[in-house]
Homo-oligomer: A and B are copies of this chain.
Amino acid sequence: MVRGRVTGRLWATKRIDTLPQGALLNVELENGTQIIALDPLGCGEGEDVLVTQGSVAAGYFDDIKAPIDALIIGSIDAD
């Protein structure tokens, strides 16, 4: 997994049907890379999050084959 910080939210009205309805958050990783992750936890801007990537991200959704390759799986506790 990688650590990142939520920097905003993205909307995509025109989308494929199998994309889940959850929030798509812009996340900046520690090395500066920008990715977009699905957020099932209701995280907000500035929050430090734990992100999993690849096909395991899609496994969170049981009933659909979600085309998701990045998922927020936790909010990192402050030290």
Contact = CB atoms under 8 A, between A and B. Distances in A.
B67 A59 contact: yes
B53 A69 contact: yes
Contact of A55 (B3, B13, B14, B56): B56
Contact of A1 (B56, B65, B70, B75): B70
Contact of A2 (B36, B74, B75): B36
Copies in the complex: 5
A23 interface: no
A33 interface: yes
Interface of A: 1-3, 10-16, 18-19, 24, 30-31, 33-37, 40-41, 50, 52-60, 65-71, 73-77
6 contacts: A3-B36, A15-B41, A16-B60, A36-B50, A53-B69, A54-B54
